[in-house]
Structure 1
């Protein structure tokens, strides 16, 4: 049976929010950073560019994560009686979201300050950390989207 009108809003917020998060991460990690870096002869110039691109984004991303969480909670509460398989899928989604959120907070409040104050010889290691954490977040969020599709199928 299809979604009710009341369910369409949280579904839309949840799916679009997750898709935007994944898309933004993929663009940043695999397109923006590698391509933009080629345009700068000095690492400090590239860093200035990246800082200007991401400045002020942390609270917008956090707002998006909150929207994803709240819409997910609304959907989970609306379908909480869908059996053990569905509950396990939702629990796995929560774990993946917590991993992504923890990594985002680590990047935001630990790695960005480290990157801002890094010497030029320290930047390659910090950038590698950003890349790997970005890849892990992309994998977690993509897996989360896949589990969401399975949960939708599992609930019938």
Structure 2
């Protein structure tokens, strides 16, 4: 394709266009790696979400999907696509609860373990600034560090 700039109106125009390929096309067995050809169906996403909720690790989920598909060539998406999808889902879940979710988790842990402590720092508008938490082994390390200093 060639373009030319029209100095009168300041616009660019296609001057010549050749719709033939000027390079070799990618072999069929590698096309599933091309960004435009990779797709994660709603069924695949639902299976990933179900397996994640069941406690499977990310690598286990991907390995199971590869095994079910009969190899990476039949998967339809890459390992990185799956990791990106799971990371996006995780971030969406966290953003819905953020501080409230973290506080609820830490307070439940504090109630279940006498050696678990939480310190919260809030600003003048009662917004959370910092959270410090420590279980018994961490408290021992902190105490030891104080004695060493």
State TM-score, norm by structure 1: 0.26
Which protein shows a greater Rg? 2
Of Structure 1 and Structure 2, which has the larger fraction of its residues in helix?
1
State TM-score, norm by structure 2: 0.27
More RCO (CA 8 Å, sep 6+): 1
